[in-house]
A and B are shown apart, each in its own frame.
Chain A
């Protein structure tokens, strides 16, 4: 597909122009954090970011969304499945690790038998523009250990790579090509490709944090009862920050809210780290302590997802490592498992 070049300082203006025509989600500075949020008309994205505090999964799978509406009538409830059609949107400036998470989430939400229309609709109507990492954003990044690369078009419709004074613009999919009009007229030459390849190789080398993510699968297969699982959760507060910030965590709750005669059925993010997640009405809880919950989180990412979808459910963004209030480090857990 086609490739173009744009001047580095033109990028923010391009996002701004798009935001005049479409709903554009982009990195925005809010107090001390950089978050993905819709750009207001005339706003520019914040491009001096390493990565965003939150993962962009909320664009396709919001914290809370309405599944259906209902109204009380004398004969009981009447309900409607009317769902707002997703707007044509752009997700601008996604790091390749986060774009990789969309490919992983698609496997769950877009299965052959049960399709999740709420997710799929938003995903289909959103063009993902990835902004490659030409320097490792954090020392906690470990994308190269979990099938990712800092310069990668996986999950992207357009890939932007900083090659010095310019960004190389690669249209990866037809959906991406439809936005070609925003990226000027300058065609990229072979020299630009070479610069990109050089930058990609260099940054890949610079990702220093490496974990044996693939190697632990056969170990997890036979170590469900290993006493090792007693050693992780001791300091865990069960706050759920790791699952909240994780680009691939997708567990949710369904609940009803009523106001007067009208109500909505909502789905909201939930977490396997919470005791109530699996607690049954009888009082029985199959995962009764934080030990079982931590084992579930590790197993689900590095074994169960691999069994089900042939992919590790971790993209190596390091958000859980950076934000855990008690410094539980998934990299150390994986390394320790590899020694069992």
Chain B
């Protein structure tokens, strides 16, 4: 049986600097042992522990979709010891990843439903995994309408710019990209995510909202969805906590009778209402 504390060796295959400020990069990893890719079978919404020997580990959401074969991607903001070391890495370096960990976006529950995806800033990563998964030709017909509302502070901070362009050209996704403040070249929408949600006004009929973003965005977006008639069972989010083991043992991300790492990170608002507010 696989020892859950031991990472799989991976090669840093490609590093993409996502934003103008250069502090958010996407790392594409290839497995050193090709058979490990099978063992790392994941679903959108799960996370992994990025493991840099001598520095430690950092829990990061998986940004690629399982439909993208041959590699796995994580989008990482430079913040602490491990993520700073990661940002200094060069392509070709060997490091480790553990996982996949946690639950995922509730794919079975989403089947046959209209999906409203709301993302703010850097929290868009596992939503991107979900979008690419749902848009894949094998999966698209399993879901109804897909509406995406994605915002960043300014155009330079938008992630996955090539994909945003490609999605904008498709007719099977309603994409709404917004920035708090545009610049000279920005031709798109300006405005905060909650306001854009109100404007787009996605229907609650047979719909589920997946919402991820900074706390201030969440705080002002939720009332919009309540007003639109979404129930707490149909609003779903993903939590972040300090973690170490990722498998519900070390005690760090214990919130009430749940461990965010093992029972989450994805919870509906109805589930969060039953949790103690300690996250």
Q: Which residues of A contact B (CB under 8 A)?
A: 67-68, 70, 72, 75-79, 81, 83, 108-109, 111, 113-118, 224, 250-256, 258, 263, 265, 267, 270, 272, 277-282, 286-287, 292, 296, 299-300, 303-304, 307-308
Contact = CB atoms under 8 A, between A and B. Distances in A.
B3 A79 contact: no
Interface string B75-109: 00001100100000000111110000000000000
Contacts of A292: 278
Given A114-B247, A252-B249, A299-B276, 5 more contacts: A76-B93, A77-B52, A252-B251, A278-B242, A296-B254
Interface of B: 1, 3-7, 9, 52-57, 79-80, 83, 92-96, 240-242, 244-245, 247-252, 254-257, 262, 276, 278-279
B257 A303 contact: yes
A279 B96 CA distance: 24
Nearest to B215: A284
Contact of B276 (A70, A117, A224): A224
Contact of B244 (A83, A115, A253): A253
A77 B250 contact: no
B252 A251 contact: yes
A256 B53 contact: yes
A81 B51 CA distance: 14
Contact of A114 (B96, B256, B262): B262
13 contacts: A76-B93, A76-B95, A77-B96, A79-B9, A83-B3, A114-B4, A251-B250, A254-B5, A254-B57, A256-B53, A278-B241, A278-B242, A307-B256
A53 to B, nearest CB: 23
A263 B55 CA distance: 10
A303 to B, nearest CB: 7
Contact of A70 (B4, B54, B93, B249): B54
B254 A304 contact: yes
B250 A114 contact: no
B257 A308 contact: yes
A307 B257 contact: yes
Contacts of A68: 5-6
Q: Please give me the 10 A-B residue pairs with the lowest Cβ-Cβ distance, nearest first.
A: A76-B94, A251-B251, A307-B257, A77-B53, A114-B247, A281-B80, A81-B6, A70-B53, A258-B54, A76-B93
B79 A282 contact: yes
B249 A116 contact: yes
Contacts of A113: 247, 262
Given A81-B6, A253-B250, A281 B79 contact: yes
Nearest to B242: A280
A303 B242 CA distance: 22
A265 B53 contact: yes
Given A75-B94, A224-B276, A303-B257, A280 B54 contact: no
Given A263-B54, A287-B278, A77 B95 contact: yes
Contacts of B242: 277-281
Contacts of B245: 252, 254
Nearest to B245: A254
Nearest to B263: A308
Contacts of B276: 224, 299
B172 to A, nearest CB: 36
B250 A254 contact: yes
B136 to A, nearest CB: 28
A254 B57 CA distance: 8
Nearest to B260: A286
B278 A263 contact: no
A79 B53 CA distance: 8
B92 A109 contact: no
A254 to B, nearest CB: 5
Contact of B250 (A75, A79, A270): A270
B24 to A, nearest CB: 14
